[in-house]
Amino acid sequence: MAIEIKNICKSFGSKQVLDNVSMTFHEGITCIMGPSGIGKTTLINIIAGLLAPDSGCIIGREGKKLSFVFQEDRLLEWESALGNVLFVSKSARKDQENARMLLTQAGLGDSIQKKAALLSGGMKRRVCLCRALIADANLLILDEPFKGLDGGMKPDIMAMVKDHSSKNKNITVICITHDPAEAEYLGATTLTLDI
């Protein structure tokens, strides 16, 4: 079922960030593009239920299970890479093999037991993506998920997101990116947020 946002408005003090924004997100991958500061992160936070709009409504969000990759990594720094991924699992024992497979696929096979505090920025980003992908969710929201990944790993990580979407036909993926090449690689529908 599509998620439809209608006439969403949001202000912070006297600054109007979103003004009557309407968009529809179908199953599959949709990339939201637009200049910095235009309100993309505010919009996805409203879709996720983390912020309330001043006015407007969201249709089709009810009953969706959410997984989110924020711009900041938000890892448990004292936990291992594996522990961070399994943190969102309903059955850590059952998902252990899948978590290890995802981390290995993300180039972290040698760092599975390494504490998050000891990982580089790019490695932390990959752990966040693995955590989001293992969650039992049918709404996946990604806020600039490929930022900070080195060029060598980026195509592999994008392929993981694309593969996850194609295997889970009922999943809606909403991804913020500034890079048209990323949207094209993901085979995404592109929506532009502008003034």
Q: Tell me the C-alpha distance between 5 and 23, whole Å.
A: 5
Provide the pLDDT confidence category of residue 195 given band limits of 50, 70 and 90.
low
DSSP strand pairing (28-33 vs 15-25): unpaired
Half-sphere exposure of 81 (CA within 13 A, CB side): 27
CB 138 within 8 A of CB 171: yes
91 pLDDT tier (thresholds 50, 70, 90): low
What token pair was written down for 143? Answer: 């806020």
Question: Would you call 194 helix, strand, or coil by DSSP?
Answer: coil
**d(C-alpha 80, C-alpha 177), whole Å:** 28
Query: pLDDT by residue (tens digit) across 26-44?
Result: 999 999 999 988 999 999 9
Distance between CA atoms of 89 and 30, rounded to whole angstroms?
25
CATH of 1-65+137-195, one of 3.40.50.80, 3.30.300.130, 4.10.320.10, 3.40.50.300: 3.40.50.300
Nearest to 124 by CA among 141, 147, 143: 147
Rounded distance, CA 127 to CA 102, Å?
Answer: 9
- Looking at the predicted structure, is the pLDDT value of residue 97 above 70? yes
At 61-85, the pLDDT tens digits run: 998 999 999 988 898 899 999 999 9
In Å, how far from its chain's centre is CA 162? 12
Element (H, E) at 21: strand 15-25
Q: Given a cut of 80, is residue 1 above it in pLDDT?
A: no
What confidence score (pLDDT) does residue 93 get? 67
What angle (nearest 5°) sits at the alpha carbon of residue 149, between those of residues 144 and 152? 135
Question: What is the residue-averaged pLDDT of the chain?
Answer: 91
Paired tokens of 191: 């929506």
Per cent of the chain over pLDDT 90 is 71
Q: Are 58 and 48 in contact (CB under 8 A)?
A: no
Q: What is the reported pTM?
A: 0.92
